[in-house]
Structure 1
Amino acid sequence: MFGDIMGMMGKLKETQQKIEETKKRLDFVLIDEQSSDGLLKVTLTANRTVKSIEIDDSLLDDKEQLEDYLVLVINKAIQKASDVNEAELGAVAKDGMPNIPGMDLFK
């Protein structure tokens, strides 16, 4: 029994290390999003860090429209990045969790 606990602790530590490695890797996974007309483009990492924003000159004449575009496109990009992030980290966590009866957290 004591060996089982030590084995589980080792597995948890290994999983924690894999999660940290995955987080670092997600800094290099880029998510691109753009407005439907292509006038605004945003690139984020899967860790939800903005890497670039490209704004067509035609949007510079209308501050309110530009603000609306920024909110919509950035929110869509953040959602996509969050989906990728959660899927990747969830897969690592699920794969690394020891089989503890009654603890079926990832069904």
Structure 2
Amino acid sequence: MFGDLMGMMGKLQEAQKKVEETKLRLDTVLVDEQSNDGLFKVTLTANRKIKSIHIDDALLEDKEQLEDYFVLVMNKAIEKATQINEAELAAAAQDGMPNIPGMDMFK
């Protein structure tokens, strides 16, 4: 019984390590998003950290339009980054999970 418990604990620690490694790797996965006309561009990591923003000079003359572009493009980029982040972390966690009866919610 204790051998099984120790084995499960080892697998849980291994799963946790995989998740932490995945989090670090997601800092290097870049997500690019831009407005339909290409006047506003943003790059985020899959951990949702902003790496760069490009604003075309044409947007600098209209504060309200720039704010609208910023909100729309950032929300799309964050949504993409979140999808990648959640999928990768779920896969890392599921891969290392021991087979515990009743814990099939991770499948």
How high is the TM-score relative to the length of structure 1? 0.98
Amino acid at match of 2:7: G
SS across alignment from 1:105 = helix
Q: Which segments of 5 or more consecutive residues in structure 1 lack a partner in the other structure?
A: none
* Structure-to-structure mapping, 1:9-24, within 5 angstroms: 9-24=9-24
Deviating beyond 2 angstroms after TM superposition, the runs of 4 or more aligned structure 1 residues are none
Per the alignment, residue 98 of structure 2 pairs with 98
Name the count of aligned residue pairs.
Answer: 107
The unaligned stretches of length 5 or more in structure 2 are none
Mapped to 2, the partners of 1:103 and 1:83 lie a distance apart of 23
Distance 1:7 1:43 in 2: 42
Measured in 2, the distance between the counterparts of 1:80 and 1:12 equals 29
> Hey, what's the Cα distance between the residues in 1 that align with 2:8 and 2:106?
17
Paired amino acid for 2:31:
I
Letter in 2 for 1:51: K
Mapped to 2, the partners of 1:103 and 1:50 lie a distance apart of: 36
Q: Give aligned-pair identity as a percent.
A: 77
After superposition, what is the alpha-carbon deviation per residue over 1:49-77, rounded to whole angstroms, capped at 9, x for unaligned? 00000000000000000000000000100
Query: Could you say what secondary structure the match of 1:68 adopts?
Result: helix
TM-score calculated relative to the size of structure 2: 0.98
Q: Distance in 1 between matches of 2:104 and 2:96?
A: 13
Find the counterpart in structure 2 of residue 25 from structure 1.
25
Q: Check if 1:40 corresponds to 2:40.
A: yes
For 1:78, the equivalent position in structure 2 comes to 78
Q: Secondary structure at the match of 1:101?
A: coil
Amino acid at match of 2:87: A
